[in-house]
Amino acid sequence: MKLLLPLAVILLFASISCAQTNDANRNKGTIGGPCEGCEAIYESPTPFEKLDWFVKLPDWGGKGIKLGINGIVYKADGKTPAANVIIYVYHTNQQGIYPTKGDEKDWAKRHGYIRGWMKTNEKGEYKFMTLRPGSYPNSKIPAHIHVFIKEPGKNEYWIDEFVFNDDPFLTTAERANHKGRGGVGVLKTIEVEKDFQKATRDIILGKEIPGYR
């Protein structure tokens, strides 16, 4: 019992320290307009300064179509790689549900546990591995991956979701809904091997983002 109490205290302070570190990165502003759920980017269990450019989402070890997505984040000029940009992604499971385990807090109650955080490296690179999500049940909404951005010195904002070019629900009308925030979000998947696909999406900071400066 004497050993458990100090350990609990240590874990509590570690949790508080992580939250304070990420909270310190907040920069209130008006870039990007309304952004429901953008606060979730600060819920990273790892302090921003310790995030890697590559992450495997919690569902990666499960059964289904494995998906690897990578790309380069560029500054507003579309040419210069942008380092230290935080990227937060989350999506449904293969049944189109945002799954929870029952102990979620804050935005995880809605976003579920299939989510992850990355920080671009000095080359502007990012990469994540996951299982390909499904469309919402009883809907014709294309399957998608939500993505939020937090770059140094600016407030967080959303960019166009990752959607899939071969999705039968990605109609002409649906494609028109994607305005190119952050660049083209429609992914062309390539089958590397059976049940394993990969895709690339480069991101341009500020592209079609209201109030960006």
Q: What is the pLDDT of residues 43-100, one digit of tens each?
A: 999 999 999 999 999 999 999 999 999 999 999 999 999 999 999 999 999 999 999 9
| Residue 158 domain flag | yes
Residue 83, number of CB atoms within 10 A of its CB: 17
Q: Which of 42, 64, 46 is nearest to 55 (CA)?
A: 46
Domains in the chain, number:
1
Q: Which of 178, 183, 177 is nearest to 203 (CA)?
A: 183
Residue 21 backbone zone (phi > 0: left; psi -120 to 50: alpha; other: beta): alpha
| Residue 109 domain flag | yes
| Residue 103 domain flag | yes
Q: In the prediction, which pLDDT does 201 show? A: 98
| Residue 167 domain flag | yes
| Residue 178 domain flag | yes
Q: In the prediction, which pLDDT does 194 show? A: 93
| Residue 155 domain flag | yes
Please compute, for residue 109, the number of CA atoms within 13 A of its CA located in the half-sphere on the CB side: 3
Q: How far is residue 79's CA from residue 205's CA, in Å, rounded to a whole number?
A: 11
Mapped onto helix, strand or coil, the DSSP state of residue 80 is coil
CB 156 within 8 A of CB 22: no
| Residue 86 domain flag | yes
101-143: pLDDT as tens digits:
999 999 999 999 999 999 999 999 999 999 999 999 999 999 9
| Residue 129 domain flag | yes
What does DSSP say about strands 196-200 and 54-56: parallel, antiparallel, or unpaired? Answer: unpaired
Q: How far is residue 38's CA from residue 21's CA, in Å, rounded to a whole number?
A: 17
- What pTM was computed for the model? 0.88
CATH at residue 68: 2.60.130.10
User: Which range marks the domain in which residue 151 is found?
Assistant: 37-204
